Each structure stands twice: as C-alpha cells, then as structure tokens.
Amino acid sequence: MYSFVDLSLKFEEHFNKRQFPETPENLYDAAQYILQLGGKRVRPVAVLMANELFSDLHQDAFHIASAIELFHNFSLIHDDIMDKAPLRRGMGTVHSKYGESTALLAGDVMLVVAYEHINKMSSDKLHEVMSLFNKTAKEVCEGQQMDMDFEQKENVAFDVYLQMITLKTSVLLAASLQLGAIVGGAGIGNQEHLYEFGKNLGIAFQIQDDYLDAFGDPKKFGKQVGGDIIANKKTFLLIHAMDVANDAQKNELQALLKDNSPDKVQKVLELFSDCKVADWANELKEQYFKKAMASLEAINVLSNRKSELEKLARFLLDRES
Amino acid sequence: MYSFVDLSLKFEEHFNKRQFPETPENLYDAAQYILQLGGKRVRPVAVLMANELFSDLHQDAFHIASAIELFHNFSLIHDDIMDKAPLRRGMGTVHSKYGESTALLAGDVMLVVAYEHINKMSSDKLHEVMSLFNKTAKEVCEGQQMDMDFEQKENVAFDVYLQMITLKTSVLLAASLQLGAIVGGAGIGNQEHLYEFGKNLGIAFQIQDDYLDAFGDPKKFGKQVGGDIIANKKTFLLIHAMDVANDAQKNELQALLKDNSPDKVQKVLELFSDCKVADWANELKEQYFKKAMASLEAINVLSNRKSELEKLARFLLDRES
C-alpha cells in the first residue's frame, strides 16, 4: 500500500507535463497556467487510493485522476470568471491574466481534454466511468448555479444550503473515490460506501473551511480571517446564526450584511458568539466526520488497507489553514 | 433512403423535448432556451444521412446527432458571450436574457449533456466516437481562439485564415458525417471521404456566407447587408482584397477599417469591386464545392444512395439567405 504522499508523487510524475498542444498559444498557455499554480491534488490522489484499496494500481486510474484534476481546474477557471475573482492561490486568476474570453475558452478546452483522458482507458468500464463522471459534472454545475442564486436571497434554509455545498464541493471528491473503486474492481456496495465516505468528508471539510475563515488563527490561516463575512458570503455559520438568532439579533445581522463598516467582522463574530455558532459548527463537522468514518468502516476489505484513507480524512479536517 | 426533410422530422421527433432536468430552473431554462430558437439542424441530420449511406438507421446515430446539436449550441452560447452579441436568430442571446454567469454555466452543462448522449450508445464504437468527437471539440475551441487573435491583427494571411475557418466552422460538419459513417459501419476509407466532403462543403458554405453578407440581395438576405464590413470582421473577401490591392487601395481599406463613416459599406464595396472580389469568391466557392463533390464521388457505395447528400450540398450553397 502506498501512502498519500507516495501516490501524490506518482500522480505528479504522470501529470506534471504540458497537458495541451503548443498552439494556439494564447488558448493553451492560459489552460496550462492554472495547472502550474499547484494545489494539493487531493481528488486525483483519491482516485489512486480508492483503486489501491481493492487491487494493484491500474494505468486507467491515472487517466481518470488526470481527468478529475482537469475537470476541477476547468470549474475553478469558470467560477473565477463568474465571481470576478482577482486571485487564485495567491496568483492572478486565468481571466485576470489572459482576459475573460480566453479564460472561458481555456476552461472549455480543458473539459474536453478531461474527456480525452477518460477515453484513454483500456478496460471495459468506459460506459460506467463516463456515466458517473457526467452525472458528477452536471451536479457541480448545478451547485454553482444554486450558489449564484443564493446571492440574491436574504435567507437560505439549512437543508437547501447543504444540498448546494454537497453538489458544488462534495460530489467531486465522492466521485473520485468511486471512480477509483470502479477501476479497482470493487462491487457496487463497496463503491457506494466509498462515495458516501467522500461525500460526508467533503461536507465536513467545507464546515472546517467556513469555521477557519471566521475563527482561524490569523498567524496560521494564510488568508484574511473574516473574508467570507466581508464578502457577505453565505456559509454554514451565517445560515445557522440566522436560524437560531432572536428577532433583535436577526435584524442586527441583516443590517450588518448591508453595511460595510470597519468593525463589521468584529460585530458579526460577536453575534456568532452569542449564537454559539462555533460550538455548533464543530459538532456538525464531527457528525459528518463520523458518518464518513462509518462508511469507511463498512467497506468490505481488511481494515489495515483503509488506514491511508483514514489518515487523509484526519489530515483534511485537522488542518488550521 | 430518407430525404433531408424526412430525417429532419425524425430528428426533431427525437430531440424536440426538454433536454435537461427541471432544477435549478435558472440554469436549465437558459440551456433549453437556445435550443428552442430553432435552426436548420444541418449537422445532426448529416449524422443520420451518413449512417443511412451505409446501413439502416441505428439508434446510436440519434444519440450522436443529439450530442452534435448540443455541442453546437454550447459553442454558440459561449461565442455569443465572447462576442458580446445581443441577438441570435433574431432573438436575445442566452447571456443577454439570463446574464453572463448563468449563460457560461448553461454552456458548460450543455457540453456535459452532449457527452451523456454519446454515452447512451449501445454499439462497441464508443472509444472511436469519443476520439473523433473530442478531437473536433478541441479544434472548434482552437478556431474560436484564432478568430479572437485575428481581431488584434491588421493583416491575416489567407492560409492562416482558411485554417481558422476550417477549425471554427468546417470540422464539425465533417465530423458529424464521419460519426454517422462510423455508426453505419463504413470502413476508414469511406469515413475519410465523407469527412473531406463535409470539410470542403463547410468551407464553401462559409465563403457563400461572406459573399451574401456583402453582395446579397437585401430583400432576400434577411440580415443587414454589409454587417461584416461595419463590424470590421475578417472575411474571405477582406483577406483577399488586402492580398491583391495596390498600395493606394490598401491604405484606403485600412483607413476605412478604422473609420465609421456612414458611407463605409459603400466605399468598401467599391474597393471590393475594383479588386474583383466577388468573382474571386464565386470561383473559390466553386473550387471547394468541386473538391467536396469529388470526395462524395469517391465513396464506395451505389451512386443513387448519395443523391440526398448531393442535394443537401447544393441547397446549402445555392441559398440566398
């Protein structure tokens, strides 16, 4: 069994080359640019880990892992255009460097190249893989649309918010794991357990993300603490605060959302504190982590084979940045 | 053998239903909207015609035809965003109706749904079909990037312009025909002849398009004659005029491109006339039409089976609007 780090290195060896033709230069340089910004490559490595849970690493897992990483970056390029984001991983976004039209097109061609990687599969599971990949790709688009729709709304119900987060961020990790399981020859039951593991881990990860943005240690966080509050972003924390706040608190919170005073972050954090949002978030995260662990537990392979996935889960949730 | 009209009706029967889930409404209504603007559906019907050239219509041809039509509309949505076009087929473009972000996302999800249709194939040709579809999709993106790059250039060489047009508009028709041939069980030689037929027909079609924009009969054309001239669009006509003009004419043409005087169209048309651009364009179109016909001729099936494709070619090139 390889560790997460071993498999990361193996994936980089496979992926760390130009993924696109040389010309038209503008188009393909823009596409290659975002891949070189790095990232933890959690999703593609998850494909490899899931394959290895059931059988020796298959070359097809590397093709699918590449497709997943390209899909993820396609969605980042297009999301950044929609969000008018200037920075990604501390560097200029693709559209801020190459212009919106080229960025749009670079995302498009990256999605097509993702399908080229899938089509390199040698096994007879192409239909099955395409089916899950397509379903997931649609869901990620749906999640992004829901997120944009929420910007226009004052209140979003917790359940609906959870559905958006699941689609926008969790299903891709879940699908990465299931795709690896398919290549590894897992049966449908084990595939589903892995999918649920990934889905719930993804939700827990997002709760942690929202938590750190509000309550993280500024020395360790690496980004501006309170960024979500300044941007009026709907988060697990805000949704819950609106749910439990009394009328006076609700009014204050809504006034703060329309306001951009210098002490906005501090005032929102005080309200979060009054509403015990931090404890609630930690408890909710723990709940999803436990669900994830129960699904991992249920997978029918020797438990020592699962230790790397468990380590990955703990690493993703214990981080402080 | 079915006629083009018969097959159009068969395709509409297959395609004329909502192609997307109900929710998120904003996303999928935007995607469905452009499909309802109509169009001649030349490319999907070409898939069916090519299948029928070699064998009875196969259900897979309908799946591929749907994928081709969705891909085409995906590219229209994104091109319209890049061109900031307000109208498409006389109606508001997707982004002007639903906003740029939703239009971007609607294009994305439409491309994914195109792959869903491909994945419905029951035959063992999925790898082969995916391979040609992916190659073509990349080429269409490359053509669009070249077209955008040309906007920044004063002069574009004829060969490079031809390459752009081939990628941006011809290869999709060519691939539609080859995909139909693959489903129909054609050998590689016949597949390639059909591809060449479609590619050269596509180029001839574009020359006709450019010709009509400048020299069309305003009563029949349906759009504003001279639209390309007003927009300073690079066309076959302009590229050729720049190639053959003497220095004085070249300077005048370049000055006109920077100008927006009310008699711009008239003055450019006079220069086109001095450079005999109309005759040249008709001759070039004829040349590509003949190339297309030679490829059709070379296909190894009874020639009466080819008559519908020949009729389609003549219909596409003899149109006045």
**pLDDT tens across B146-179, in order?**
999 999 898 899 999 999 999 999 999 999 999 9
Band of pLDDT at residue B290, cut at 50, 70 and 90: very high
Annotated domain spans of chain A: 1-137, 187-321
In sequence order, what DSSP letters do the residues of A151-189 get, joined into one string?
HT-S---HHHHHHHHIIIIIHHHHHHHHHHHHHTT--HH
Residue B308's pLDDT is 96
Residue B30's pLDDT is 98
Distance, in Å, from the CA atom of A242 to the CA atom of A245, rounded to the nearest integer, reads: 5
Instruction: Report CB contact under 8 Å: B24, A130.
Output: no
**pLDDT tens across B237-272, in order?**
999 999 999 999 999 999 998 888 889 999 999 999
Average the pLDDT over each of A36-50, A143-157, A180-194, A218-232 and give the range with the smallest value: A218-232
Classify burial at A122, counting beta carbons within 10 Å of its beta carbon; exposed 0-12, middle 13-18, buried 19 or more: exposed
Beta strands in B21-140 (DSSP E): 87-88, 91-92
Percent above pLDDT 90 for chain B: 88
User: Closest to B111 (Cβ–Cβ): which among A111, A146, A149?
Assistant: A111
**pLDDT tens across B100-116, in order?**
999 999 999 999 999 99
Q: Looking at this protein, which amino acid is placed at residue B94?
A: V
Residue B318 has pLDDT above 90, yes or no: no
CB B169 within 8 A of CB B201: no
Residue B221 has pLDDT above 80, yes or no: no
Q: Report the residue of B63, B75, B101, B153 to disrupt the A interface, i.e. the one with the largest count of A CBs within 10 Å.
A: B101
Band of pLDDT at residue A58, cut at 50, 70 and 90: very high
Q: What's the first-to-final CA gap in chain B, in angstroms?
A: 28
Tokens standing for residue B230: 């007003």
Class of domain A1-137: mainly alpha
Q: Report the residue of B60, B84, B98, B115 to disrupt the A interface, i.e. the one with the largest count of A CBs within 10 Å.
A: B115
The sign of the CA dihedral B279, B281, B283, B286 is negative
Tell me whether strands A87-88 and A91-92 are parallel, antiparallel or unpaired: antiparallel
Instruction: Report CB contact under 8 Å: B104, A116.
Output: no
Contact residues on chain B for A172, CB-CB shorter than 8 A: none
Average per-residue pLDDT for chain B? 95
Band of pLDDT at residue A154, cut at 50, 70 and 90: confident
Instruction: Report CB contact under 8 Å: B126, A131.
Output: no
User: Closest to B149 (Cβ–Cβ): which among A26, A142, A144?
Assistant: A26
Compute the nearest-CA separation of A129 from chain B (Å): 10
Span A130-148, mean pLDDT?
98
Residue B260's pLDDT is 82
Which residue from B154, B284, B313, B281 is spatially nearest to B213, judged by alpha carbons? Answer: B281
Band of pLDDT at residue B118, cut at 50, 70 and 90: very high
Considering only CA atoms, give the Rg of chain B. Answer: 20
Distance, in Å, from the CA atom of B127 to the CA atom of A120, rounded to the nearest integer, reads: 8
**Same topology between domain A1-137 and domain A187-321:** yes
Which residue would you say has higher pLDDT here, A152 or B43? Answer: B43
Contact residues on chain B for A145, CB-CB shorter than 8 A: 24, 26-27, 102, 105
Q: Which residue of B has its CA nearest to A128?
A: B119
Residue B127's pLDDT is 97
Average per-residue pLDDT for chain A? 95
For B127-133, which contacts have Cβ atoms below 8 Å and span 24 or more sequence positions? Answer: B127/A119, B127/A126, B128/B182, B129/B64, B129/B179, B129/B182, B129/B183, B130/A115, B130/A118, B130/A119, B130/A126, B131/A119, B132/B175, B132/B178, B132/B179, B132/B182, B133/B64, B133/B67, B133/B71, B133/B175, B133/B179
pTM of the model: 0.97
Residue A200 has pLDDT above 90, yes or no: yes
Compute the nearest-CA separation of A109 from chain B (Å): 6
| ipTM of the complex in this document | 0.96
Distance, in Å, from the CA atom of B87 to the CA atom of B96, rounded to the nearest integer, reads: 8
Span A10-38, mean pLDDT?
96
DSSP state, B263?
Answer: T
Span A187-321 CATH architecture: Orthogonal Bundle (1.10)
Question: Which residue shows structure tokens 């940045």?
Answer: A321
Residue B193 has pLDDT above 80, yes or no: yes
User: Closest to A141 (Cβ–Cβ): which among B27, B115, B119?
Assistant: B27
Compute the nearest-CA separation of A312 from chain B (Å): 30
Residue A321's pLDDT is 73
Residue A281 has pLDDT above 90, yes or no: yes
Residue A223's pLDDT is 74
Compute the nearest-CA separation of B117 from chain A (Å): 10
Residue A261's pLDDT is 86
Contact residues on chain A for B104, CB-CB shorter than 8 A: 78, 81-82, 104
Span A93-119, mean pLDDT?
98
User: Within 13 Å, how many C-alpha atoms sit on residue B17's CB side?
Assistant: 5
Which residue from B92, B108, B218, B118 is spatially nearest to B175, judged by alpha carbons? Answer: B118
Residue B219's pLDDT is 82
Residue A258's pLDDT is 87
Classify burial at B5, counting beta carbons within 10 Å of its beta carbon; exposed 0-12, middle 13-18, buried 19 or more: exposed
Residue A285's pLDDT is 97
A→B contacts (Cβ < 8 Å), by residue, are: 23-24, 26-27, 78, 81-82, 100-102, 104-105, 107-109, 111-113, 115-116, 118-119, 126-127, 130-131, 134, 137-138, 141-142, 144-146, 148-149
Distance, in Å, from the CA atom of B78 to the CA atom of B305, rounded to the nearest integer, reads: 37
Residue A222 has pLDDT above 90, yes or no: no
